[in-house]
């Protein structure tokens, strides 16, 4: 493999075809990237496609334009700005890390970023290389796919991908190199139908030479989602329902309709427990909503309930997509259009 020629080909392609218009790639007056914008974008994009992520990024940066603004905000306001992005632990960790940086300053090295709450090797490498020019190679799904095809490795291990990325990293332009590899994977070396004719690395690509580039890498074996049955109740209207604060690592800090896991029991038993806790009377069955998050597939039956519980404007609290679906179900039945 002619590494010098490989770097020249990819960086030349990136200069002409890279996604320079992305808002997190804007440089400051000094010609450098804002590490805060880079950091928020990299955290956001780990589980979000760029088209949708761009909208979320601009909304979040409008609410919290600086790390100081984020640090001073209440957690609920942070979660509200993050609403719809999913993986809310990331928003909580952003908030915690911002508070550390407000006290101690913004790190300028890989090790400094890695020490922050919620920052792993990928994010630390991305911020330190893109904002500070440190020679750290990133490893994400796009990088894994590009390198797997470049060398025709069907089942690349994390150690192999990281080692190969480290070896190919251009030490003179680490940030540009990282973005070039990621852009190539996102726009040309795509999962199912790679655009090999437009690839600047096609002459060196072993997967293309094999005649089956889409064979690499082999799909990862993923654990089946755990099936969860639950019941929820709507007291009030979809626009002003009674809401409870969620707890735990998955949806902690968000708000939502009162909900009870059926466990190994029946839906009726779960509804009785929920109604007893809230001191309400189930009035009618409104319907069923399904939702998948992380490794859980939820089937939630929504009931309307009668009881003297205080309502809250639905658009005033950070809600999960599951709760938005439940409120939309009730609204579509004509209970009342929601306020959001």
Residue pLDDT, tens place only, 94-150: 999 999 999 999 999 999 999 999 999 999 999 999 999 999 999 999 999 999 999
Q: Give pLDDT, residue 335.
A: 65
Q: How many CA atoms lie within 13 A of 2 on its CB side?
A: 9
**pLDDT reading at 339 higher than 60:** no
Quote the number of domains for the chain. Answer: 2
Q: Give pLDDT, residue 340.
A: 33
Strand order in the sheet with 226-235: 259-261, 226-235, 296-306, 281-293
The range of the structural domain enclosing residue 27 comes to: 3-215
Are 131 and 38 within 8 A, CB to CB?
A: yes
Question: Of these residues, 42, 134, 179, 260, which one is catalytic?
Answer: 42
221 domain residue, yes or no: no
CATH number of the domain that residue 231 is part of: 3.90.79.10
206 and 289 fall within a common domain:
no
338 domain residue, yes or no: no
End-to-end CA distance of the chain: 55
- Which of the two residues, 13 and 48, has the higher pLDDT score? 13
Last residue of a domain, one of 185, 215, 245: 215
278 domain residue, yes or no: yes
266 domain residue, yes or no: yes
15 and 105 fall within a common domain:
yes
173 and 270 fall within a common domain:
no
Q: How many CB atoms lie within 10 A of CB 78?
A: 23
**pLDDT reading at 52 higher than 90:** no
254-271 pLDDT, tens digit each: 899 999 999 999 999 999
123 domain residue, yes or no: yes
35 and 139 fall within a common domain:
yes
337 domain residue, yes or no: no
**pLDDT reading at 334 higher than 50:** yes
Q: Give pLDDT, residue 336.
A: 55
Are 245 and 88 within 8 A, CB to CB?
A: no
Q: Give pLDDT, residue 113.
A: 98
**pLDDT reading at 337 higher than 50:** no
pTM: 0.84
152-174 pLDDT, tens digit each: 999 999 999 999 999 999 999 99
Phi, psi dihedral angles at 116 (to 5 degrees): -80, 150
CATH number of the domain that residue 119 is part of: 1.10.340.30
285-304 pLDDT, tens digit each: 999 999 988 788 999 999 99
150 and 277 fall within a common domain:
no
272-287 pLDDT, tens digit each: 999 999 999 998 999 9
144 and 35 fall within a common domain:
yes
- Pick the closest to residue 202 from 213, 187, 193 (CA basis): 213
160 and 268 fall within a common domain:
no
Mean pLDDT across 236-253: 86
**pLDDT reading at 252 higher than 90:** no
Q: Reply yes or no on whether 42 is catalytic.
A: yes
Q: Which residues contact 163 (CB under 8 A, 6 or more apart)?
A: none
319 domain residue, yes or no: yes
Q: Which residues contact 127 (CB under 8 A, 6 or more apart)?
A: 35, 38, 39, 42, 113
Last residue of a domain, one of 174, 190, 215: 215
Q: Give pLDDT, residue 338.
A: 36
Phi, psi dihedral angles at 258 (to 5 degrees): -55, 135
58-83 pLDDT, tens digit each: 999 999 999 999 999 999 999 999 98
Q: How many CB atoms lie within 10 A of CB 154?
A: 10
209 and 231 fall within a common domain:
no
Q: How many CB atoms lie within 10 A of CB 247?
A: 10
**pLDDT reading at 17 higher than 80:** yes
Q: How many CA atoms lie within 13 A of 72 on its CB side?
A: 7
Calpha distance 26→176 (Å, rounded): 13
129 and 242 fall within a common domain:
no
Last residue of a domain, one of 215, 246, 267: 215
Q: Give pLDDT, residue 87.
A: 84
109 and 179 fall within a common domain:
yes
105 and 250 fall within a common domain:
no
220 domain residue, yes or no: no
Give the strand pairing for 226-235 and 296-306. Answer: parallel
How far CA 183 is from CA of 27, 34, 177, in Å, comes to 18, 20, 10
Write out the two tokens for 9.
């080909």
251 and 304 fall within a common domain:
yes
Q: Give pLDDT, residue 301.
A: 96
């Amino acid at each position: 493999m002619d590494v010098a020629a490989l770097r020249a080909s990819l960086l030349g392609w990136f200069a002409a075809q890279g996604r320079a218009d992305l808002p997190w790639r804007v440089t400051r007056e000094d010609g450098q990237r804002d590490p805060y914008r880079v950091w928020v974008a990299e955290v956001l994009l780990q589980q979000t496609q760029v088209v949708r992520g761009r909208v979320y990024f601009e909304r979040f940066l409008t609410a919290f334009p600086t790390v100081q603004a984020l640090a001073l905000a209440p957690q609920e306001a942070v979660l509200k700005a993050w609403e719809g992005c999913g993986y809310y632990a990331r928003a909580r960790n952003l908030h915690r890390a911002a508070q550390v940086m407000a006290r101690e300053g913004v790190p300028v090295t890989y090790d400094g970023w890695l020490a922050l709450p919620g920052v792993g090797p990928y994010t630390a490498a991305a911020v330190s290389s893109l904002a500070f020019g440190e020679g750290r190679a990133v490893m994400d799904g796009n990088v894994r796919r590009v390198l797997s095809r470049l060398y025709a490795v069907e089942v690349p291990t994390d150690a192999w991908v990281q080692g190969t990325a480290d070896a190919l990293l251009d030490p003179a332009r680490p940030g540009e190199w990282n973005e070039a590899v990621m852009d190539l994977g996102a726009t040309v070396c795509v999962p199912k139908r790679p655009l090999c004719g437009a690839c600047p690395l096609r002459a060196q690509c072993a997967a293309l030479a094999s005649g089956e580039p889409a064979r690499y890498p082999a799909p990862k074996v993923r654990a089946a989602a755990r099936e969860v049955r639950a019941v929820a109740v709507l007291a009030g209207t979809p626009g002003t329902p009674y809401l409870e604060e969620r707890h735990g690592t998955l949806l902690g800090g968000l708000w939502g309709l009162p909900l009870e896991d059926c466990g190994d029991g029946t839906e009726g038993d779960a509804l009785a427990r929920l109604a007893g806790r809230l001191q309400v009377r189930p009035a009618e069955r409104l319907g069923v909503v399904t939702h998948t998050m992380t490794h859980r597939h939820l089937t939630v039956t929504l009931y309307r309930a009668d009881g003297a519980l205080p309502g809250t404007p639905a658009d005033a609290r950070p809600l999960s997509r599951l709760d938005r679906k439940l409120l939309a179900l009730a609204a579509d039945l004509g209970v009342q259009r929601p306020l959001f």
